[in-house]
Amino acid sequence: MIRTDLLIIGAGPTGLFGAYYAGFRGLSVAVMDSLPQPGGQITAMYPEKLIFDVAGFPAIKGQELVDRLVEQAGQFDPLYLLGHRAEKLDHGDDEVKVTSHQGLAVVAKAVLITGGIGMFSPRRLPVGQEYEGRGLRYFVPRLDELAGLDVLVVGGGDSAFDWALSLEPIARSVTLIHRRTRFRAHEHSVDRVRASRVRLLTPWEVRDVFGDPHVEGVEIHNTATDQREIVWVQAIVAALGFHADLGPLTRWGLKLRARHIQVDSAMRTNLPRVFAAGDIGDYDGKVKLIATGFGEAATAVNNAVPVIRPGAKVFPGHSSDAG
């Protein structure tokens, strides 16, 4: 059993900043996440993508942002409990116990849920799933893993176009196929792909994957003309979207609205000693931005402090006064 002042559930940007801010307020903090590394959705889905709306950075890659947040939180030595899915919540008189799916129990004076979109899993490619880990992937944590390869990207959303544009300078070739002639991706991204050396094919879909033991090629099918073609590739990036849900959190008695946890202006949920911030939290007028999550994390931590330490002030003063 682990004891801490504050348990943060979710190691994405909001949770990592919350860990820093909790340390700044003098709290001991543990951070639990079902993924094996910090960063949440950013690390898993778009570590190489540029983010343009984080204050102080004209542009910053997702993984670099995560690395800096980990460094910032590291000043106060948070305890990371990675690979642990928060499974069960029990209330005591003045504490909360959260038990992970591996049986690890964390007793805290307060809990801050920063689980983003919740647990997410990729939509599987209908064929060739036996090649997962052998050339077929759904995320690209490190672009250089595909340097010099022939790559097939499948999908028509922002992720598919982002991967294609990111891989185009380093891959030997990039082919992007989508089963429809219209795309969900931003028009600007579509125009950039059309102007690049990426081969863009619509309306095509993957009918077969072959190779031994790794992917060597795919058979694709034009759904309009019934034409078939072999594309020789060593890597497939299936960017078909993902399923997301709150998992065990739906059984905790939290007040939910459309798969989000309802909070008040102090980021309090309907459960005592339980707060929520970031994309997982919801209130009227909510704007889902990383910048918003940072502010909500600070708000949640500051309002949790007098719960954890009765008599303490909500507002700590400005960090520049701390020296």
Which one, of 284, 236, 281, lies nearest residue 260 by Cα?
A: 281
The token pair at 218 is 């795919």
Q: How far apart are CA 198 and CA 194, in angstroms?
A: 7
pLDDT of residue 323: 59
Q: Binding residue per annotation — 189?
A: no
Q: Do 296 and 160 reside in the same domain of the chain? A: no
Q: Do 39 and 131 reside in the same domain of the chain? A: no
Q: Binding residue per annotation — 262?
A: no
pLDDT of residue 123: 86
Q: Do 302 and 230 reside in the same domain of the chain? A: no
Q: Do 108 and 134 reside in the same domain of the chain? A: no
pLDDT of residue 289: 94
Q: Binding residue per annotation — 144?
A: no
- Among 240, 269, 292, the domain boundary falls at 240
Alpha helices in the chain (DSSP H): 13-24, 40-45, 62-73, 158-167, 187-194, 290-308
Given phi > 0 = left and psi -120 to 50 = alpha, else beta, which region is 53? alpha
Q: What total of structural domains would you count in the chain?
A: 2
Domain that holds residue 143: 124-240
Whether 7 and 98 have beta carbons less than 8 Å apart is answered as yes
- pLDDT lower than 50: segments of the chain: none
Q: Binding residue per annotation — 102?
A: no
β-pairing, 204-210 with 217-222?
antiparallel
Q: Do 247 and 116 reside in the same domain of the chain? A: yes
- Among 240, 257, 286, the domain boundary falls at 240
Q: Do 101 and 139 reside in the same domain of the chain? A: no
Q: Do 6 and 114 reside in the same domain of the chain? A: yes
Q: Do 224 and 195 reside in the same domain of the chain? A: yes
Whether 162 and 186 have beta carbons less than 8 Å apart is answered as no
Q: Do 207 and 194 reside in the same domain of the chain? A: yes
Q: Do 180 and 148 reside in the same domain of the chain? A: yes
Domain of 31, CATH number, reads 3.50.50.60
51-101 confidence digits (pLDDT tens): 889 999 999 999 999 999 999 999 999 999 999 999 999 998 899 999 999
DSSP 113: E
Q: Which residues pair with 8 in a beta bridge?
A: 31, 112
Q: Binding residue per annotation — 20?
A: no
Q: For the whole model, what pTM was predicted?
A: 0.80
Q: Do 236 and 247 reside in the same domain of the chain? A: no
pLDDT of residue 259: 85
Cα-atom radius of gyration of the chain, to the nearest Å? 22
Q: Binding residue per annotation — 120?
A: yes
Q: Do 89 and 199 reside in the same domain of the chain? A: no
Q: How far apart are CA 90 and CA 287, in angstroms?
A: 31
Q: Binding residue per annotation — 86?
A: yes
Q: Binding residue per annotation — 275?
A: no
- Among 205, 225, 240, the domain boundary falls at 240
